Amino acid sequence: MKREYDFSKGERGKFYRPDLHLNIPVYLDSDVADAVRQYAKKGKSDIGVLVNEWLRRDIKSMSQSRKVKAR
């Protein structure tokens, strides 16, 4: 690593894209990944579709339980 870097010819925000949507990889532990693969195989579904359904259901139930607690 250099002691100093020259940024005099740098351009601020050159690669900034405010509307860019990133797909963030999620890494499952091996035992969880094995279980998801088995469920997907049984249901003849894609692993990504299955995990997204589970997460949506969990998010929905969390938001509903918060509404109940707020009353």
Eight-state DSSP code of residue 1: -
Kindly state whether residue 50 falls inside one of the protein's structural domains.
yes
Residues of the chain with pLDDT under 50: none
What pLDDT score was predicted for residue 71?
55
SS3 20: coil
Kindly state whether residue 27 falls inside one of the protein's structural domains.
no
Kindly state whether residue 70 falls inside one of the protein's structural domains.
yes
Kindly state whether residue 60 falls inside one of the protein's structural domains.
yes
What pLDDT score was predicted for residue 65?
81
What pLDDT score was predicted for residue 55?
95
pTM (2 d.p.): 0.59
As for how many domains the chain has, the answer is 1
Range of the domain at 64: 46-71
Kindly state whether residue 21 falls inside one of the protein's structural domains.
no
- What distance in Å separates the CA atoms of residue 19 and residue 32, rounded to the nearest whole number? 33
Kindly state whether residue 10 falls inside one of the protein's structural domains.
no
What pLDDT score was predicted for residue 64?
86
